[in-house]
Structure 1
């Protein structure tokens, strides 16, 4: 499948292509998307300077199922560059990003499993997210060049690669979460689920500017829920720690 779209307001183009298949046990999919836009045009024929943006997105997945197991593995990569408007300035239809702008990169991985036993089942879900956010600023770049020139004059040792630019803000956010639930064998009219859920998250900064302070978060919880089934009524009790 291939789709192409054109946006007259931003003179933007978008391309989307993908393929998927499903069999008796295996299934898979892969899809890609690319979009590039120039500055947004307002109702009075003026363009909002540096409102341009671009994005690349890739999704893939594979699944398997039989009488004893069902699993689904998925991965998503997304990379976008977004201009940060400050004023109505130079009128342009260029798609090249101007400072200040942000680059955001995401990696998302998920694994969903269910194991079937004789009278019960086990669900295991695991997810991982890596987010890299970088911001480039014009004034920061100039200040950094001046600082590097002073440093070179004093030390005469460090060699700065020509054309290299460092972001004013760079933040890495990593998140790992899990969800495990056991559906116990039904006992009489009772149907019970017990499980554990949790998350581990780290946030690290590498630029001069700080958006969210460095931090680590750990979270874990235990749960139990039971249903009591009658012909016309259903009772439920829950507990979570």
Structure 2
């Protein structure tokens, strides 16, 4: 190979390498532009779905896009916005954090994080307010219950004292008038209601006016219920024995 042929060969090699590098560079630019166009297309589609209110479809579409473009803070911010609109604040916060990890100076993400925090504060205040209202209602119910129980006990005590006074007065009047039918009616009623304290006092008053046998005959004659009759006689005898023992 002479000198001329060598020059021609070198020129051909240089031209071939130049063409080859040009082709490689063009393909690289084409791939880069295609990737940018694909990310832009995904973001626009997600944005349109969010604007239309189709948040679930927007989130699904953006998640698929992020598999191809995992370093896109813009797509993460859009996905966070979609979750925010859906009301899933935890997922929204996670996406915004991913976006800030990629680009700490993303202004859109910062605005959304601020808005989300305000929303969380409002929700927290609302929950606290609801709990306070519930507590107030429960407290009011408790106060009402306590007052009701107190009034019930008070009225019960008043009615009990009134009833005792009524029975004592009427029993003594019946004894004074020798109305033995009414006397034994009161004793029967006390036994039926199991008013033992009242019954003992009335039987003592009966024994103070009549001896044991007279009192027994009165009960046997005027009390119709045999079971109550037996109990009254039994109590009468027991009270008489105790009074004799003390005497």
Does the pair score TM above 0.5?
no
TM normalised by structure 2 equals: 0.17
As a proportion of its length, which structure holds more strand?
Answer: 1
| Greater C-alpha Rg | 2
As a proportion of its length, which structure holds more helix?
Answer: 2
Structure with higher RCO (Cα < 8 A, 6+ apart): 1
